[in-house]
Amino acid sequence: MIKIGLPRAMSYYYLYPFFKTLISELGGEVILSKLTTKATLEEMSVCPTDEPCLAVKLYFSHVKQLIDEDCEYIFIPRLISVEEGNFCCPKIIGIADMITNTFDIGERVLSPRIDMSNKQQMVEDLHYIAKCLGFKKNKVIEVLDKSWKFQKDFSKFMVDNKLTTEEAYAILDKKSGIDHYKEHEEDKEQVPAIGVIGHPYVLYEWVSHNLIQRFRQYGKVFTPEMVDKKHIKDQMKQIYEGEKLWHFEAQMLGSALYLMKNRLIDRLVLVGLFECGPESIVEAYIEEEADRLGIPLLKLFLDEQTGEAGLVTRIEAFMDTDIQNLEEEVTVVHKPFHTEKVLLREKPIVGFPAMGQLDIVIDSILKECGVETVKPPALSTRSIELGKELAPEFVCLPLTATLGQMIEMLELGANSFLMVSGKGRCRLGWYAQIQELLLKRKGLSFNMMIIDSPFPLRKNGLNFFNTIKQVTNGARFDRVIKSLALGYHKLEVLENAQAVCRRIRAYESQRGQIDQVFNLLRAGIDQASDYRTVTKFYKNFMEETETIKLEDTNPLKVALVGEIWVLLEPFVNMEIEKFLGSRENIRVVVERELTVSHWLQGNILYTKKAVKRGKEIQKAASPYLKEYVGGHGRESIGLTALASQEGVDGVIHLMPFTCMPEIVAHNILTQASDKLDIPVLSFIISDQTGEAGFETRLEAFLELLLERRFEKTYPMGWS
């Protein structure tokens, strides 16, 4: 029988019954990696970057352990969707590619796509595995159905017997019997009842220091796997588009809401990992409901440095505190935050967060439809600080910053907000809901208007057009179309002008001239009210650029890739384009392909050129990252690969702290850059990023690129 290694990490804790049945039915024998120990933690250095959460780094350690084991293959599934209509966390989707870019294990890896939204691809991948194991391909669908059924039956077994994942797996592997765990159910009236909510790959890992057993010393413990899936789904339906939340996080949130609303628990503990992206969304909903119901909540965030003594102290303090006192603290009435409570008026005054040139564009569209607006103040330290006061600790920087801008716009008189949505792999689709929840908890009144994709039209079209009608205050359809056309024209003009600026900065004799010309253009476009005026301003801009004296230089070519908001927001990226284009002794042409119009052309308008380029980027990324992980993670890989072919000297990768798609991309880029033979400098942007250190690293990178160019031009030196 062929031995197949399975890492005892991440998806193992959710789908081991499925994996074990699938592999066994295909003729393989499952070899699990050993339980995590302190030595396993020390092996986490094999993970190329520090940014992934502890669960990802542990996965690397467990794979390394299996590489040295006596097994022919290692099973690392591409877990994309285990329920139709939602996805898994981007790091779970991308883990197979992160692993294969780090370890040279080639054909030893079996990485089938597990995607309930694309069953045909899933079956095709399993056909390949069946071929590797010498199994008959025509029985794969039968094996797949049997494996899923066993997984569902096993989940029901855990619910019926109120077993933890750890206890149930011990029974599955015949290490103990069901009677061994019956003692937990003997005292049905045992109090207090404690809900312990977290991923099983956190709750039952070494780093949790036996959390469940510690809480059982105080009372009866409920965990997410003990709650019926039907109850979880019913709870998620009560949240707007809750059924689209990442699947495993939905199990956590739905079970927590069910336990709290039905008063099955007296206290709740939320256990997470530092930098867990999806948990920052779940946390907001759990905290809101615990607050509303007066249920004491303890939040524990763990990493490899978490000490047992400190953890025990926090548990003891939480459990020893009188519940009545805790309830009094939790149910305090919220007071307005920073500004008087805003009362909705009949006429909406609409605010919207900024990104690059979008403030001008959206303001123009709304005003042309007769809507009063409040333009977002330029992003600042104050914006981010205001957002930080409300935002969950590990939420991504764009959500925090735009949340702060909303508070500033409320201060300026806005009573409505316009936000985009679109649930998927990235957290962006949850921004509007979380921001509304956080602001209204602080006593602020406003109307949140959410625009989602109109596609597919049969399903989403009516809702989309109703939202447009609401946003435009009932403007006539022809007026809306005209305003959209004008706004899009302004966007294209501004972005084309920025591309001209990036080129001319590398050649202009008097530095900063092109930026002065662009600022005049931007001010004019902001005030322009018709298509002809916009075109005239752009024509004047191009004529002015012709008068700028240029020098004959041989500039470096540097490509900017990464998350789009960080790329487009100058305050956040320390005006990196201007900085690179204004060096005293080093001339640099900056190339940045990601723009708002580029996104619209590829995802909404489907222009021939944009679609073709999108396919090129995907193809270039596929040797390193085969799956779409959300955001612009795949584009970061693909554009870097293309840059190495298109004469670019180096790539600068920008990502917000805790951005899930870019964490995957960063992890892969550290390995792929060597294979692609192109230097990559990654910046993780947070509110703590210092300008001096940022610029020092950029200067050093440019010097490196110059030395590299010299070595390529003169491989034997000057002689």
Q: What is the CATH number of the domain that holds 190?
A: 3.40.50
Q: How far apart are CA 99 and CA 630, in angstroms?
A: 18
Reading the block at residue 642, the tokens are: 């293309």
pLDDT (0 to 100) of residue 455: 78
CB atoms within 10 A of CB 313: 11
DSSP state of 613: H
pLDDT (0 to 100) of residue 329: 43
Predicted TM-score of the model (pTM): 0.94
Instruction: Using the 3D structure, point to which of 473, 491, 521 is the last residue of a domain.
Output: 473
Q: Do 597 and 716 belong to one domain?
A: yes
pLDDT (0 to 100) of residue 719: 52
Quote the Cα angle for 662-664-666, to 5°. Answer: 65
Domain membership of residue 683 as a residue range: 554-719
Q: How far apart are CA 283 and CA 391, in angstroms?
A: 10
pLDDT (0 to 100) of residue 537: 98
**165 domain-assigned:** no
Q: What residues in the chain have per-residue pLDDT under 70? A: 180-190, 323-346, 717-719
Residue 675 belongs to a domain with what CATH number? 3.40.50.11900
Per the prediction, the chain carries an average pLDDT of 92
Q: Do 283 and 312 belong to one domain?
A: yes
Q: Do 295 and 399 belong to one domain?
A: no
User: Which of 225, 227, 230, 231 is closest to 165 using CA atoms?
Assistant: 225
Q: How far apart are CA 632 and CA 245, in angstroms?
A: 19
**538 domain-assigned:** no
Q: How far apart are CA 54 and CA 41, in angstroms?
A: 9
Q: Do 311 and 384 belong to one domain?
A: no
User: Which of 455, 409, 471 is closest to 435 using CA atoms?
Assistant: 409
| pLDDT tens digits along 452-473 | 888 778 888 888 888 899 899 8
Q: Which residues, other chains included, contact 523 with Cβ-Cβ below 8 Å and sequence gap of 6+?
A: none
**What are the b/e assignments for 595-630, b being 16+ CB within 10 Å?**
bbbbebbbeeeeeeebeebbeebbebbeebbbbbbb
User: Which of 148, 124, 154, 18 is closest to 75 using CA atoms?
Assistant: 18
**259 domain-assigned:** yes
Angle, to 10 degrees, between the axis of helix 596-603 and the axis of helix 608-621? Answer: 100
User: Which of 464, 633, 483 is closest to 563 using CA atoms?
Assistant: 633
**286 domain-assigned:** yes
* Residue 682 and residue 666 in contact, taking contact as beta carbons nearer than 8 Å: yes
Q: How far apart are CA 114 and CA 18, in angstroms?
A: 11
pLDDT (0 to 100) of residue 440: 96
Strands in 297-415 per DSSP E: 297-302, 349-351, 372-374
Q: Do 326 and 354 belong to one domain?
A: no
Q: Do 454 and 400 belong to one domain?
A: yes
Q: How far apart are CA 629 and CA 449, in angstroms?
A: 27
Total domains in the chain come to 4
Q: How far apart are CA 364 and CA 119, in angstroms?
A: 44
pLDDT (0 to 100) of residue 379: 95
CA 16, distance to chain mean position in Å, is: 25
**542 domain-assigned:** no
**Distance set, CA 523 to CA 177, 405, 616 (Å):** 74, 21, 36
| pLDDT tens digits along 579-633 | 999 998 899 999 999 999 999 999 888 999 999 999 999 999 999 999 999 999 9
Instruction: Using the 3D structure, point to which of 473, 506, 525 is the last residue of a domain.
Output: 473
DSSP state of 301: E
Q: Do 308 and 356 belong to one domain?
A: no
**526 domain-assigned:** no
How close are the terminal C-alpha atoms of the chain, in Å? 63
Q: How far apart are CA 134 and CA 145, in angstroms?
A: 20
**What are the b/e assignments for 86-123, b being 16+ CB within 10 Å?**
bbbbbbbbbbbbbbbbbbebeebbbbbbbbeeeeeebb
pLDDT (0 to 100) of residue 179: 76
**SS3 call for 681:** strand
**483 domain-assigned:** no
pLDDT (0 to 100) of residue 323: 60
Q: Do 213 and 102 belong to one domain?
A: no
Q: Do 298 and 227 belong to one domain?
A: yes
**412 domain-assigned:** yes
Q: Do 694 and 585 belong to one domain?
A: yes
Q: Do 322 and 355 belong to one domain?
A: no
Strands in 347-490 per DSSP E: 349-351, 372-374, 416-420, 447-451
Residue 55 belongs to a domain with what CATH number? 3.40.50.11890
Q: How far apart are CA 210 and CA 187, in angstroms?
A: 21
* Residue 445 and residue 476 in contact, taking contact as beta carbons nearer than 8 Å: no
Instruction: Using the 3D structure, point to which of 437, 457, 473 is the last residue of a domain.
Output: 473
**Distance set, CA 668 to CA 56, 621, 641, 662 (Å):** 13, 10, 12, 10
Q: Do 297 and 364 belong to one domain?
A: no
* Residue 624 and residue 670 in contact, taking contact as beta carbons nearer than 8 Å: no
Is the bond into 456 cis (omega within 30 degrees of 0)?
yes
- At CB < 8 A and 24+ separation, what contacts does 699-705 make? 699/583, 701/650, 701/652, 702/556, 702/558, 702/580, 702/583, 702/586, 702/588, 703/586, 704/650, 704/679, 705/556, 705/558, 705/649, 705/650, 705/679
| pLDDT tens digits along 396-419 | 999 999 999 999 999 999 999 999
* Residue 397 and residue 512 in contact, taking contact as beta carbons nearer than 8 Å: no
CA 601, distance to chain mean position in Å, is: 23
